[in-house]
Amino acid sequence: MQTRRLLLSALLATGVLAALPAAAQSKDREYVVASSATYTPFAFENKDKQIVGFDIDIVNAIAQKEKMKLRIVNTPFTSIFASLNNGDVDFVISGVTINDKRKQSFDFSAPYFDARQLIAVPKSSTVKSLQDLKDKKVAVVSGSTGDDVISRVQGKTSANIRRFESTPLIMSELSGGGVDAAIGDNGVIAYRASLDPNLKTVEDPNFPKEHFGIVVRKGDKALLDRINAGLAAIRADGTYNTIYKKWFKTDYVAQ
């Protein structure tokens, strides 16, 4: 009996016993996921203040495959990486582009979305490429990639480039006939265009390809492996395409 008490005391002193319940309950752990709910259709708040969108459906589908419990928190994009580094959240899904600079500080999942620029025009338009916009009035978000690409075609000071503060504004200008085209991130442009039966989208193969990834802390291989396994599973069984079609009104085609 005395020996058992001594062993118990030793375990408590070393923290081993305290760690046992956490280990036993690891399968029930809740993962906190950060997403900036200001980027329709990837993540945004609905009328009931719930965070919804493509990113949210994707991460929930991954969690279902991997039997992970999630709590999604609306986090400003400007502080989303600090929240991850500080341990306030376990991982991030928020339309984050995978690039070499970010990969120095964080680890990324396999790509879950193929990103690029996309042109929106009226359905009657004959525009087939970026070069066809050389003499057209084009709306872009000021300082965006879309602004850069049309500035290289028309010249940065071109009076035909109309700059606005957000994608909804450039799409509103296009719908109202104020411009001949709008250029922006493909996911957002495709979603907004799908809401207007008088608009269509035009792809230009010369636009550079980018990819969105789910972000974890550097070296968190166990979590990254689970995310990648879940992502591979939803791609394989058609769940990914179902979610993609729900938000973008078309089947997914690999780029």
Whether 4 maps to a domain, the answer reads: no
Number of independent structural domains in the chain: 2
Are 134 and 181 part of one and the same domain? Answer: yes
Q: What is the pTM of this model?
A: 0.75
Rounded average pLDDT per 10-residue block, the chain, 255 residues: 49 42 57 92 93 98 98 92 96 92 96 95 97 97 88 96 91 97 92 93 91 97 98 98 93 84
Tell me the one-letter amino acid at 232.
A
Percentages (nearest 5) of helix, strand, coil residues in the chain: 45, 20, 35
Same domain? 160 vs 147: yes
From 202, 219, 240, the end of a domain falls on 202
Alpha-carbon torsion angle 36, 91, 242, 237, nearest 10:
180
In a domain, 129, yes or no: yes
| pLDDT computed for residue 8 by the predictor | 43
The pLDDT, as a whole number, for residue 26 is 56
Domain C-terminal end among 165, 183, 202: 202
Asked if residue 253 belongs to a domain, the reply is: no
For residue 136 the two structure tokens come to 């057209």
Same domain, 186 and 158: yes
Q: Is position 76 within any domain?
A: yes
Range of the structural domain that residue 142 is part of: 117-202
Task: Provide the CATH number for the domain around residue 82.
Answer: 3.40.190.10
Q: Are residues 188 and 147 in the same domain?
A: yes
Q: Please name which of 124, 184, 176, 133 lies closest in space to residue 154, comparing C-alpha atoms.
A: 133
Same domain, 105 and 130: no
- Tell me, what's the pLDDT at 2? 52
Residues 96 and 43 in one domain: yes
Q: Rounded to the nearest 10 degrees, what angle do helices 239-248 and 186-194 cross at? A: 60
Q: Find out whether the peptide bond into 41 is cis, omega within 30 degrees of 0.
A: yes
**DSSP string covering 175-213:** HTTS-SEEEEEHHHHHHHHHT-TTEEEE--TTSPPEEE-
* Same domain? 173 vs 227: no
Give the sign of the dihedral formed by CA 239, CA 245, CA 248, CA 254.
positive
On whether both 197 and 156 belong to a single domain, the answer is: yes
125 closest CA partner among 174, 190, 186, 194: 174
Residue 149: its pLDDT value, please? 92
Shared domain check, 140 and 100: no
Count Cβ atoms within 10 A of the Cβ of residue 176 and give its class: 0-12 exposed, 13-18 middle, 19 or more buried. Answer: exposed
Which pairs count as long-range contacts for 220-225, CB under 8 Å and 24+ apart, including other chains? 220/91, 220/107, 221/107, 223/31, 223/90, 223/91, 224/107, 224/109
Q: Are residues 149 and 32 in the same domain?
A: no
